[in-house]
Chains A and B, each alone.
Chain A
Amino acid sequence: MSTEGLTTSAYIKHHLQNLTCSIQEGHFHCAHTAEEAKAMGFWAFNVDTLLVSLLLGLMFLFLFSRAAKHISADVPSGMQNFVEWVVEFIDSSVRGSFTGRSTLVAPLALTIFAWIFLMNLMDLVPIDYVSLITQPMGIGHFKLVPTTDPNATIGMAIGVFLLVLFYSIKVKGLGGFVGELTLQPFGKFGLPVNLFLEGVNLIAKPVSLALRLFGNMYAGEMIFILIALMGASWVSFSFASTLLFSSQIILSLGWAIFHILIVTLQAFIFMTLTIVYLDMAHQEHH
């Protein structure tokens, strides 16, 4: 970490900046500052988010598909044990919340849980270690935790939202779905009110999914950055500096341990809400 010449706010901004890249005039170009990234508009990619989430997703699928390939009904051992434990946990969660029959929901829940868990887990990597690797490679910004990027969480929430829409229409028919949006709770004469209420209800699902995960992870990351700042304000072997440095060690340890809980909990909440939303999509409310 090189904090020389960096102010505190610059340090925080540096850590909250994604590696945003886009193709401008035929050239692949990455933004160096937040303003530059903003100027790229919508058609830019946060390469760090995409890369890390892709790698973590592939890791999950690689481990699980390898275990699935060698799985047997005999006495399980090692990796198979772990995979079965996870799968049974997900399966019981799905059975508990989802009343319909679907071959999609359980694997969907597993993917969501495992993927988000791994992405959140990146939060436990000490924040300045990343730049130890990326800085020499000439990469200015690199956020290791994809779920602190709203694009990632909104992207997944959109995926879930599309599934909710798809199953609502598939199960209830287009008419049934529209009817659900417009004819309740006040009957056909309160149509505009109904549409407003149910519309908010519907839109709130992906928004709450995306923002809850993003908010939690972003806040957690922010606190890690603030804790890291304590040691960064080292000036000399003075009492104040030593105290701050040692508090950084203690606080980051405490926060990291607490964060293990948040990491798992947020992944679990995202999964459970997805199951519940899909269950609601499968049910008739009338």
Chain B
Amino acid sequence: MNINATLIGQTIMFALFVWFCMKFVWPPIMAALDARNKRIADGLAAAERGKNDLALAAKRSAELLREAKEKVSEIIALGDKRASEIVEEAKAQAKIEGDRIITAAKAEVEQEVFRAKEQLRTQVSAIALAGAGKILGREIDAKAHNDLLDKLVAEI
């Protein structure tokens, strides 16, 4: 157990080993570790971002859904209103049409009546003439009394 030049050799070896380790071993390992740390941190940040995005999207979709529902109910209400409007309109039109038909019918009836009266009048004058002829026992000259008869017809 003597102290001898071994310690010089050991010191030199020590220095060389440390130098080598400092040059070729430590930096690449640390670089890789740092790179992985960074990658993990990035990944976590991305995941966090994704989660936020998801929450945001969910919120947005809920909002859209709510809006859509609102719009739908609005449209339904509008449709209902329109339908009742159409019904109302149809009713009004039908009434008008009905009135018109009734009026036309009435006019026709009146015309019919008038025509019947007209016919009746002429037939009545003919019947009256025939009756009068029989009562008088002789042929009344229709031509001679036409004026009189026409007056009568006009009077009826």
Contact = CB atoms under 8 A, between A and B. Distances in A.
Interface size band for A: 35 or more
A276 interface: no
A205 to B, nearest CB: 15
B3 A110 contact: no
Nearest to A218: B1
A61 B25 contact: yes
Interface stretch (A128-136, A150-158, A240-248, A255-263): A150-158
Interface string B13-39: 111011011101110111011011001
Contacts of B17: 57, 60-61, 111, 115
Contacts of B15: 159
Contacts of B18: 104, 107-108, 111-112, 159
Contact of B21 (A16, A72, A111): A111
Given A67-B29, A107-B22, A159 B11 contact: yes
B10 to A, nearest CB: 3
Contact of B25 (A18, A41, A45, A110): A110
A211 B65 CA distance: 79
Contacts of A91: 30, 33
Majority-rule SS of B interface residues: helix
A50 B6 contact: yes
Interface size band for B: 20 to 34
A69 to B, nearest CB: 7
Interface string A40-78: 111111100110011001001100110111011110000
B136 interface: no
Interface of B: 1-11, 13-15, 17-18, 20-22, 24-26, 28-30, 32-33, 35-36, 39
Interface of A: 16, 18, 20, 37-38, 40-46, 49-50, 53-54, 57, 60-61, 64-65, 67-69, 71-74, 83-84, 87-88, 91, 103-104, 106-108, 110-112, 115, 146, 149-152, 154-156, 158-159, 162
